[in-house]
């Protein structure tokens, strides 16, 4: 049984589903550019400003993880999938330097974040 990926447009709540994660992202991107171009351009602009809401730096994530799962989740909850893929990978590279309990917390956070996306949040 193949896994079905689902996601929701944050602007109009339209749902998307696909068996392929890449296809899903492409169809959402197409939809957003077509239906919400203004919002998309604003987001592109905002994306360049590092450290703003929804765009935390690796350092911000690391210190949030050290403060505990709820703190870290509150910070990364608003980070969008594409940004999260890069941010998550960057934080992953710090794993060898984390304390064991921090590493455990980070694993849990990643799992929760991925569940959120599968639900289309």
Q: Strand (E) positions, the chain?
A: 5-8, 15-18
Give the range of 10-18, 45-53, 88-96, 104-112 binding Zn ion by CB under 5 A: 10-18
Q: Is position 40 an interface residue for Zn ion (rule: CB under 5 A)?
A: no
Q: What are phi and psi of 12, to 5 degrees?
A: -130, 5
What is the four-CA torsion angle of 70, 73, 75, 76, rounded to 10 degrees? 170
Task: Return the structure tokens found at 78.
Answer: 């608003």
- Choice between 9 and 40, CB closer to Zn ion: 9
Q: By the 8 A CB rule, do 76 and 84 touch?
A: yes
The residues in 17-36 that bind Zn ion, with binding defined as CB under 5 A, are 35
Q: Is position 9 an interface residue for Zn ion (rule: CB under 5 A)?
A: yes
Q: Is position 12 an interface residue for Zn ion (rule: CB under 5 A)?
A: yes
Q: Is position 39 an interface residue for Zn ion (rule: CB under 5 A)?
A: no
Contacts with Zn ion by CB under 5 A lie at: 9, 11-12, 14, 35
């Amino acid at each position: 049984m193949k896994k079905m990926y689902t996601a929701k447009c944050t602007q109009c709540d339209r749902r998307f589903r696909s068996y392929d994660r890449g296809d899903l992202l492409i169809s959402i991107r197409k939809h957003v550019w077509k239906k919400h171009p203004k919002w998309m351009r604003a987001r592109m602009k905002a994306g360049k400003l590092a450290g703003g809401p929804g765009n935390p730096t690796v350092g911000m994530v690391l210190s949030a993880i050290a403060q505990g799962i709820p703190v870290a989740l509150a910070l990364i909850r608003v980070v969008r999938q594409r940004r999260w893929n890069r941010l998550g990978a960057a934080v992953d590279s710090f794993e060898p330097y984390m304390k064991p309990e921090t590493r455990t917390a980070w694993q849990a956070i990643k799992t929760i974040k991925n569940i959120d996306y599968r639900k289309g949040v």
